[in-house]
Each structure stands twice: as structure tokens, then as C-alpha cells.
Structure 1
Amino acid sequence: MTGICANRVVVVTGAGRGLGRAHALAFAAEGAAVVVNDLGAALDGAGASDAPAREVVAEIEAAGGRAVAHGGDIATAEGASSLIATALETYGRLDTLVNNAGFLRDRMLVNLTEDDWDAVVRVHLRGHFLPLKHAAAHWRAETRAGRPAAARVIGTTSGAGLLGSVGQGNYSAAKAGIVALTLVAAAELGRYGVGVNAIAPAARTRMTEGGFAGLRGLPEDVSPLVVWLGSGGSEGVTGRVFEVEGGRVTVMEGWRRGASAEAPARWTPESAGATARTLLSTTPPPLPPYGSTPTP
């Protein structure tokens, strides 16, 4: 097949439904061979089924593309390792990793259980780290063997990870962690020819249809940028976060040093407080978390 990802091998986690499915189909349409990972869990992470991944593989093959299903739990070392091994054993290479798997267990903080916290942080943050770790080890070995990579990693954060979201403390924390992981990976893996970026998508999926019914974008609106980021054409783009909704793409700007002051001697609590208030008076307020009540 032809396309901007012809001859590339792409792994997409959480690719049985929603955004991941759209990404997998879009990569295949641009010529990539796709490893379709999905545990087949419910919205809260319960249960498992290989049907969603197999159905996406069937769609890709029916359109003339190449794909293989992987039903392992990528938040385990064994599952993440076998995911990367599936790409290498089936197609002989790995060019792009799209980390997308996740689920929700929304609660206000006072009602959030340890299990709700651990489960969501595990699938989103650990589920990004482990596939990335195993893919990076492969690309490092290839570089050391004289076969430098032109590899790409795309993580999936969220507006909740950038601004916070009321009732989603666990999800927001995990998604914020993915941004930091993206920045670290971009700095560490550039020497091996790996570009690492993240998207903050907003689209109508089964994860968002309950609490964010007003979303206008579809998963298929997000995938074109993901495919480009996963292609050779994105060379030199790394350590970036893009917000994508409908037809809009926004480059997100992270923390930057703003107004500051320095004391000639150690601050007292009173002088530190007075200085902080002065600095804040010249600094725009942060954007409010999703679902919050604006301050009067």
C-alpha cells in the first residue's frame, strides 16, 4: 500500500474502540502495518475480551491492509513486552508506538477509593510507561547495532491533565504524568532517532459521552494529526503537546517562568507572602479546571 506511513509498523494500544480504533484504521489507510492492542475491558476496566481487537483487524484486512491483534494487558511487564515482540515477530520491525489505552472511574476526591485511584493511574500512566520502555530498549539496541531508527511515539494526555477536571482527580493526575513522561522521553530518546509527542484529544467516544456530551469532534478528526506525528514527515517535532478537537489543532504551551523577585537576604514569611501577592497581581490567573465554578 502507499501513503505517508507505507512500510512502517505501528502499534496502537486501546485500539479496539473509540480513538484507538480510529488511529489504527487511519494508519492502515496510509500504508502502515498495525498491531491492534485492546484488552476488551468495560468502561471502568472490568472484564476482558479479544473481540474488539479482532474486529478492527478484520476491518483493516477487508480494506486491503495488514494488521494483527494483541489482547495483552500493557500495564504489566509481560503484556508490554509481548506487545513489542508481536510487532517484531510479525513484521520484523517497529516504527511507531501510539499509547492510547485507558478507562475512567470518576469520583469526587472525598469519595475516591484507593482502588479507583490505583486502577486509573495504572492503566493510563503505567500503561504508557511500560510499552514505551520496551519500545525504547529495542530502538536503542537498533541504534547501537548501526541501524538508527526514525521512530515515533505519541502519548495520549487530556485537557484534564493540563488544566484539571472536577470529579476526575485520578484521571487528571495520570494524564498530567503522561505530559511529564513525554518531555523526559523526548529528551532521553532523541539520540536514538525517536521523536516523542503527546496529544490532548477531545472527541465523542464511549468514555466521554456521559460527562462531556457537548463535544463536537469525532475520533476520526483526531487521527490525521496522530498519523502525521507517527510518520517520517514529523522529523524534528518532539517534546510537544497538541490539543485536537474537531477541525482545530492547538500547540499547548507548558509551564514557563513568569514574574519573579529575588531578596537580598533570606525571606521572612511576611516578606515572602507580600512579594508573592505582588507577583500574582501582575500574572494572569490560570485557566479554570473543567467542571469548576468560576470565581466571582
Structure 2
Amino acid sequence: MEIRFDNRVAIVTGAGTGLGRCHALGLASRGAKVVVNDLGAATDGTGTSSDAALAVVDEIKSAGGQAIAHGADVADPDAVADMVAQTMAEWGRIDIAVNNAGILRDKTFGKLDLDDFRKVVDVHLMGSATVCHACWPIMRDQGYGRIVLTSSGSGLYGNFGQSNYGAAKAAMMGLMNVLHMEGARDNIRVNVLAPTAATRMTEALIPADALALMSPETITPGLLYLVSENAPSRVMLGAGAGCFAQTRVYETPGVTLTGEITPEIVAAQFAGISDPKGQKELASAFDQTRKYVANAARARGLTLDWN
């Protein structure tokens, strides 16, 4: 069954170049009305220009689609509120929010200025939260919403010299987990895309022959699935060079200690604590609490009435 977005309205942040541009074009090609958001800044977040966003709007319109441009800084609540208000005035609904805008200010942690740390977190984390927060009541009232947060292998696995970027990108998982729970009743589905692509943010970091395999066009099909009507929710989808994989967080069964608990005992038991046999995903933080308390009660021969 073909995935279409007819009569759907999508906001795509950072959509003037690279992945965001590809996402916006992909959505529009399948019927979505698209808000092309781009501040027009350099990769480090400095400067502004509307040229890139307007160029993407022209591409969409030339192909017979509908689009408007907006230059909101995603970390500015007033600017985001204006973008949402203009979208509602133009089309009367917001169905999809693709949080793609980002900047880089790479430097090893010991040499990093905390202002640069804060700025990267502001754009990636606070920017995503600000856009989601502005769209949330609209999606809730509609009984329909699809949100994608953009993470990265730097956040999920780490990358030298990217403590600010990695911390912000790791936060996407936590934001997704909670928004998934809170949005489920109102048919708001929330997922994470963790892409690796040839863009202006990666061109200086990856060899040319590898970049040739990593076009944004190999990633956007995954994004389109994550914001489709039959999309999953609470999925972290890794994507790059045509490869797609799901990232999951598992917890080992662990070891329950009773009696005196000392750091030496924890050290002696660490191999068992780390044993992956029987590991599984947990659905919520409270599931983890239940697991620990149930294990503790069982180890002491207690029966808990905890419904």
C-alpha cells in the first residue's frame, strides 16, 4: 500500500539544505503541504538567510506541491509560535513535525567553551522540545500527530569531540519515550531517526568515497515511514547508505544483593550483574522499579501485593 500524505500538513525544521531539504521534498512529493523551516545559519549556527528555505519552497511549487517558508530559530519560543500560527492560518492543521534543525560546534570537552555547549543543546534539545510543545495541543485536539526527533550515533554511541552534540542527541531518546506515553491516547506517535548522511555537517568528517554512498535520499524513505498514518511509535531507527536498523536499550536481569551491601560485594558480583543472558527491554521507568522491588522481595521470601 502506497504511503501518502494527502491533506496532511508537515513542519520540517532545518529544511533548507541536506537531510531536511530531502525530507521536505519527500513529503511534498507524496501530497503533504510543507512548512520549510530554516534559519539559514552556517553549520555553527551563526548568520541568517532565507534563501535556502525559499529555494526549497520553489522546488516544491514547481513540482505542483504546496509549501511556505519560515525562518524561525527553533530555540526561540516566540518565533516558533509565529511559525505555528502562520501554518494554522494557511492550512488549519499540523499533522507532522520533523525536528531536523541542528548545528555543530565540535571541540574536545576540556577545550570547549560552555557557551558553545549550551548553544548546541539549545538548538537540538530545546529546539525540538519547543517545536513539539507548540504543535502538541493542535495534534491533541485533532486526535492525530506524527513527530520525529533526530538523534545521531554520536548521542547513542559517542563520538570524540562532540560532548555537546552527543549529549543533546542522546536526550532525544528520553524525550521520545515520554512523549510516546503522553501522546498515545490522542494518536500522537513519536519516533527517533538516527541518520548518518553526506551533508554539510559531515562532509569534512567522512572520506569522499564513503560520502558517495551516503546521500540523504537513502534516509528519507525511513523518515516518511516514521511519520506515516500506520507508523510505529517509540522506535529509534538508524539509517544510512540505504541501511536501516532499530536501536534498542536492554537491561540485564542483574543480581539482587541482600544483607550487607558493600562496594566490594558489588565488584565481586559485577560479572553476574553484566551478564546479558535473559536481558530485555523495559517499557517504562516504573517497570524498572517493579523489577527491582520484585527481585528484592523474592530474595527475602516476601510476597508483595503491588497492583
TM-score (norm 1): 0.89
Matched, 1:243 2:238: yes
Displacement of 1:277 = 4.2
Alignment deviations for residues 111-138 of structure 1 (CA, whole Å, 9 cap, x no partner): 1111110111110001100000111122
**Residue matched to 1:233:** 230
2:230 match: secondary structure:
helix
In the aligned structure 2, how far is the partner of 1:158 from the partner of 1:132? Answer: 19
In the aligned structure 2, how far is the partner of 1:44 from the partner of 1:54? Answer: 21
Displacement of 1:91 = 0.8
Matched, 1:97 2:60: no
Structure 1: runs of 5 or more not aligned: 143-147, 285-296
Matched, 1:210 2:199: no
Matched, 1:189 2:189: no
Q: 1:35-74 to 2 correspondence within 5 Å?
A: 35-74=35-74
The equivalent position to 2:195 in structure 1, one of 194, 201, 207, is 201
Q: Which runs of 4+ in 1 moved over 6 A?
A: none
The equivalent position to 1:274 in structure 2, one of 244, 257, 268, is 268
Matched, 1:31 2:28: no
In the aligned structure 2, how far is the partner of 1:283 from the partner of 1:185? Answer: 29
Q: 1:139-178 to 2 correspondence within 5 Å?
A: 139-140=139-140, 142=141, 148-178=142-172
Structure 2: runs of 5 or more not aligned: 278-307
1:97 match: secondary structure:
strand
State the one-letter code of the partner of 1:132: C
Alignment deviations for residues 2-47 of structure 1 (CA, whole Å, 9 cap, x no partner): 9611111000000000000000000000000000000000011001
RMSD (CA atoms)? 1.5
Aligned residues: 273
Contact 2:3 2:228 in 1 (8 A): no
State the one-letter code of the partner of 1:238: S
Q: Percent identity?
A: 39
Quick one: higher RCO (CA 8 Å, sep 6+), 1 or 2? 1
Contact 1:44 1:104 in 2 (8 A): yes
Alignment deviations for residues 99-156 of structure 1 (CA, whole Å, 9 cap, x no partner): 000010000111111111011111000110000011112223x1xxxxx422100110
In the aligned structure 1, how far is the partner of 2:34 from the partner of 2:77? Answer: 21
1:154 match: secondary structure:
strand
State the one-letter code of the partner of 1:206: R
Contact 1:74 1:83 in 2 (8 A): no
1:233 match: secondary structure:
coil
In the aligned structure 2, how far is the partner of 1:238 from the partner of 1:153? Answer: 9
**Residue matched to 1:287:** none
Q: Which has the larger radius of gyration?
A: 2
The equivalent position to 1:261 in structure 2, one of 255, 259, 263, is 255
